[in-house]
Amino acid sequence: MLCILLCKEGTSQSGGGLEHYLYLSKESLAVLVPVAHYQFSGDWYGEARYNYEEANTFSLYGGKTFAKEGKWGYSATPMVGAITGLMNGGSLGLNLDLNRQKLFLSSQSQYSFSIENHAQKYFMTWSELGYEAFPWCYSGVALQQRKPYRKDPELETGYMIGFSFGKWVFPLYVFSPSKKEKYFVAGINYEWEKSSGKKKK
């Protein structure tokens, strides 16, 4: 991480996106998780989420992006956030992306805690390793890990496939596919960019 932060490359590109994820399983009701993010031209980054850290809970994050293009392209965004709703507290996070040609690795990690309940805190990571077989389609594997306070880690593996049409992306995940408790995550995402200078990843 220190190498990534020290070898950063500036950018004047801005853009954002809207993401909607629907969690589907036999054991529980469907849950909608909307996420909005925006990359400012000065490398500053903002992100808002709902139902992500906890049900009926809103969170707002801010951070700075460090990125570089090349044979191996990457971007790293450390963030700090505030959480309010059924869970009230704070969070520290890191969004990390690494790519080489059609191969990509992405990871979103965070440590979240409640200021009202000492035991309501956890560490969580969502990671994806994928390959873009066609300009309009990618597939790969996904991994979720959650470590609640004083409990054993919870690990879920799955598969993913996604389809791109212009600025629209439609990802689909299935976690724990060989188990009775398997569930699906379907997404509808829209991305846009506004470039006013040198472009980064």
147 lies in a domain?
yes
14 lies in a domain?
no
pLDDT digits 0-9 by tens, 32-70: 999 999 999 889 999 999 999 999 999 999 999 999 988
Q: What is the CATH number of the domain that holds 153?
A: 2.40.160
Q: What is the pLDDT along the chain (201 residues), one digit of tens a residue?
A: 333 333 444 444 689 999 999 999 988 889 999 999 999 988 999 999 999 999 999 999 999 999 998 889 999 999 999 999 999 999 999 999 999 999 999 999 999 999 999 899 999 999 999 999 999 999 999 999 999 988 999 999 999 999 999 999 999 999 999 888 899 999 999 999 864 433 333
79 lies in a domain?
yes
pLDDT for residue 29: 86
Chain-centre distance of CA 56, in angstroms?
A: 19
Helix residue ranges, H only, the chain: 2-6
Find the domain containing 99 and state its range.
Answer: 2-8+44-195
Neighbour count for residue 171 (Cβ, 10 Å): 20
**Structure tokens that stand for 114 in this block:** 């409640």
Sign of CA dihedral 155, 37, 139, 187: positive
19 lies in a domain?
no
63 lies in a domain?
yes
105 lies in a domain?
yes
In sequence order, the β-bridge partners of residue 143 are: 127, 157
pTM of the model: 0.86
Quote the DSSP letter at residue 1.
Answer: -
103 lies in a domain?
yes
Q: Number of structural domains, the chain?
A: 1
102 near 139, Cβ under 8 Å? no
| Helix, strand, or coil (residue 118) | coil
135 lies in a domain?
yes
CA dist., res. 165 & res. 3, Å (int): 35
Q: How long, in residues, is the chain?
A: 201
DSSP string, 71-113: SSEEEEEEEEEEEEESS-EEEEEEEEEEEETTEEEEEEEEEEE
